[in-house]
Amino acid sequence: MVEVWSQVQGSLKRKLGAQNFEIWIRPIQPTRLDHDGVHLQVPNRYYRDWVRDNYGQDLRDELFAALGHPVPVEFRIAGREAVPVHHTQEPAPRQPIPGVAADKVFDNFVVGASNQFAHAAALAVAEAPGDMPYNPLFIYGGTGLGKTHLLHAVGNRIRQDDPGATVLYVTAEQFTNELIDALRYRQMPTFRDKYRKLPTLLLMDDVQFLSGKDRTQEELFHTFEWLKERGRQIVFTADVLPREIRGLEPRLRTRCESGMLADTQPPDLETLVAILHQKADDLGLNLDPEVAQWVAARVRGSIRELEGVLHRLSALCRLHRSPATLLFAQTHLSAVLMNQPRVPQPDFIIERVAEHYEVSPADILGKRRNRPLVLPRHVAMWLIRKLTARSFPDIGRVFQRDHATVQHACRKISNQLDQDHQLRRSVEQLEHALQH
Ligand code: ADP
Ligand code: MG
């Protein structure tokens, strides 16, 4: 059975193309395959109808070729506890979800105050997909703070609880590109089938990418309505709130806002240390608490960066056949971590800028708009953006202004830096002082 099926798979892959194959054929599991008949198990009803109508003939042809004579083919829908009829071996390994990392799960997501709400919301969705009020769930926050991890965790959990569930993970960028191709090659029906009929769960990452892309937004809106009407779960992520995504169609915005909004914030030191320990465990690295503290205190902010340092440490330990002691870490990582600019906090930046321009921090944060205050205010925004990589809305909150104001200020300073040497010198000085 294994042999015949893999031959059939091979032929269908060539015939239908890799993408169609991955979507439609790969998830099929033969539960019976012999000269008298074939039972093919498919994830759900939609899936069965689609495969039967579109690939039924291809399947029959290839089975005929592989077995040497025609056989009746029957589709079976996988139930939650479906036990394959003729299971003689170990159950097949779970099918990976295209685009989803199998190791991004809830179990290795460290929960702290910074991400507690997003974690709880994601878990709620994974446990009861499609239920109100979590449909859709919209997770937002700065880069490297665990949004994609949570998205994958939802997919993996749902797949684990219900192997028949069809989880579709896509970045907004992929969605856009697929739509462009579908329009160009006149394959809209296939595109719509993929996004409407198929998924039990649609996970869309980095929705801010849709900013200003009207045609894609329109398609997403209709996809959303279609799925929502049928109680299918949708989860979005973005780096900002829906209303802060520029050029997001109002009706799409209200849909995004109609479910649950949950943010991920930069973790505090304790959470960073806990994440370090978790990642060390994943790597099989025995991490001394002292070392974790020492590293976490030097890589504040981005979890992705933290992982980079840890991978380096783990590789060095293997290379030198040494345990990861504090001394070892200090000896081998100091060069990397010391060159790592310090990540200053926004209020510290504001203080230094105020000092430099001989105004008060309150003036910088205030609302007065005379020129001697506006420049330092804009410089402070620009420096916070550059040195802490916070999102425009986050910075806006510090100044009690909206994200567009901050964005505008940052753009203005960036432009001015090219022409205004004095400004450039000031900014360079400040940057240096803030990072050392
Ligand atoms: P985002 O999508 O918000 O930019 P990611 O989800 O890609 O960020 O996270 C960046 C890296 O940090 C990933 O490898 C992820 O596993 C890890 N990470 C982020 N938050 C956590 C957490 N709370 N616990 C464990 N790992 C985390
Ligand atoms: Mg991401």
Q: What is the pLDDT of residue 169?
A: 97
Ligand 1 pocket mutation pick from 149, 204, 240 by most atoms within 8 angstroms of CB = 149
Check if the beta carbon of residue 269 is closer than 8 Å to that of residue 241: no
Q: Which atom of ligand 1 is nearest to the CA of 267?
A: 23
CB atoms within 10 A of CB 338: 10
Q: What is the pLDDT of residue 298?
A: 81
Q: What is the pLDDT of residue 424?
A: 92
Q: Is the CB of 275 within 6 Å of ligand 1?
A: yes
Q: Which atom of ligand 1 is nearest to the CA of 119?
A: 23
Report CA(238)–ligand 2 centroid distance (Å): 8
* 32-42 pLDDT, tens digit each: 887 778 888 88
Q: Which two tokens stand for residue 98?
A: 């295209």
Q: Is the CB of 304 within 6 Å of ligand 1?
A: yes
Ligand nearest to the CA of 273: 1
Ligand 1 pocket mutation pick from 145, 205, 239 by most atoms within 8 angstroms of CB = 145
Ligand nearest to the CA of 275: 1
Residue nearest to atom 11 of ligand 1 (CA): 304
Q: What is the distance between the alpha carbons of residues 371 and 352, in angstroms, rounded to a whole number?
A: 19
Q: Is the CB of 115 within 6 Å of ligand 1?
A: yes
Residue nearest to atom 23 of ligand 1 (CA): 110
Q: How is 212-265 classified by DSSP, letter by letter?
A: T-HHHHHHHHHHHHHHHHTT-EEEEEESS-GGGSTT--HHHHHHHHTSEEEEE-
Q: Which atom of ligand 1 is nearest to the CA of 264?
A: 3
Ligand nearest to the CA of 204: 2
Q: Is the CB of 147 within 6 Å of ligand 1?
A: yes
Nearest residue to 344 via CA among 311, 385, 285: 385
Q: Which atom of ligand 1 is nearest to the CA of 150?
A: 6
Q: What is the pLDDT of residue 84?
A: 40
Q: What is the pLDDT of residue 404?
A: 93
Q: Which atom of ligand 1 is nearest to the CA of 152?
A: 6
Q: What is the distance between the alpha carbons of residues 58 and 54, in angstroms, rounded to a whole number?
A: 8
Which residues of the chain register pLDDT less than 50?
Answer: 80-92
Q: What is the distance between the alpha carbons of residues 134 and 232, in angstroms, rounded to a whole number?
A: 11
Residue nearest to atom 21 of ligand 1 (CA): 146
* 372-422 pLDDT, tens digit each: 899 999 999 999 998 887 888 989 999 999 999 999 999 999 999 988 989
- pTM beyond 0.75: no
Ligand nearest to the CA of 274: 1
Q: Is the CB of 109 within 6 Å of ligand 1?
A: yes
